[in-house]
Chain A
Amino acid sequence: GDSVTQMEGPVTLSEEAFLTINCTYTATGYPSLFWYVQYPGEGLQLLLKATKADDKGSNKGFEATYRKETTSFHLEKGSVQVSDSAVYFCALTAPSSGGSNYKLTFGKGTLLTVNP
């Protein structure tokens, strides 16, 4: 079945440091890939997405590139802020051959803490 593996946290960085959170996947067909962010006590918010190979999703300074050859979708940000402290989830959706299955498969999440 489909699966997502992301680096385990927690990740602790100082403000303005470079961030990478690794994400790799296995899926049938051609999945779409997503990064979600969850702030404490809240639901998940879509951060960025990519729907085909070599697409780059970007939002709020975060970027991730869909790499089909390495089945990866690593999240990066050049300079993190204290307000970026949250849990980050990598996810995919891979419609079945009948096109009737749109479920998301999530990684376990990575807790990021950014210190001033």
Chain B
Amino acid sequence: DGGITQSPKYLFRKEGQNVTLSCEQNLNHDAMYWYRQDPGQGLRLIYYSQIVNDFQKGDIAEGYSVSREKKESFPLTVTSAQKNPTAFYLCASSPVADNQPQHFGDGTRLSIL
């Protein structure tokens, strides 16, 4: 079955560490997205990419970085510059076309040790 796979499901980070969250999709979608979810704040867009080797900052990109070397993969790195990284991170993908919904993975919960 086609879908989006995020790994790991749970991740722990020490102070000063960078960590990378994986997102892979086999839906043949051109666009991929990373969101951060905090209680009571809904979803906020971190980065998105509509084509390989290109990506744009979302609303809260500071302290994060991404790459898009393959269509299927869009890893997110949470850097040590992100001072409050504890959150639930969701990856999504969609076709690049009007009226198309985004499809979501099951998320990665990142916590600080």
Please state if B99 and A51 are interface contacts (CB–CB under 8 Å).
Answer: yes
- Given known contacts A102-B31, A103-B45, A106-B42, A49 and B106 CB-to-CB distance under 8 angstroms: no
Q: Which residues of A contact B102 (CB under 8 A)?
A: 104
Please state if A43 and B48 are interface contacts (CB–CB under 8 Å).
Answer: no
Most chain B beta carbons < 10 A, residue from A46, A99, A106 = A106
| Other-chain contact of A108, B4, B40, B103, B105 (Cβ < 8 Å) | B40
Most chain B beta carbons < 10 A, residue from A41, A43, A104, A109 = A43
The proximity string for B residues 47-65 relative to A, scoring 1 for CB distances below 8 Å and 0 otherwise, is 0101000000010000000
- Given known contacts A89-B43, A108-B41, A102 and B100 CB-to-CB distance under 8 angstroms: yes
CA distance A34 to B103 in the complex (A): 12
Q: Which residues of A contact B58 (CB under 8 A)?
A: 103
Kindly provide the distance from the CB of A39 to the nearest chain B CB, expressed in whole angstroms.
10
| Number of B positions contacting A (CB below 8 A) | 27
The proximity string for B residues 5-45 relative to A, scoring 1 for CB distances below 8 Å and 0 otherwise, is 01000000000000000000000000101000000111101
Q: Which residues of A contact B92 (CB under 8 A)?
A: 44, 104
Name the residue of chain A whose CB is nearest to the CB of B31.
Answer: A102
| Number of A positions contacting B (CB below 8 A) | 23
The 10 closest A-B pairs by CB, nearest first: A43-B104, A108-B42, A51-B99, A44-B104, A32-B99, A43-B106, A106-B43, A46-B101, A106-B42, A43-B107
Name 20 extra pairs, CB < 8 A, besides A93-B100, A99-B98: A32-B98, A32-B99, A41-B106, A41-B107, A43-B4, A43-B6, A43-B105, A43-B107, A45-B104, A51-B99, A93-B99, A102-B96, A102-B98, A103-B45, A103-B48, A104-B33, A104-B102, A106-B42, A108-B40, A109-B42
Chain A residues within 8 Å of B, Cβ to Cβ: 32, 34, 36, 41-46, 49, 51, 89, 93, 95, 99-100, 102-104, 106-109
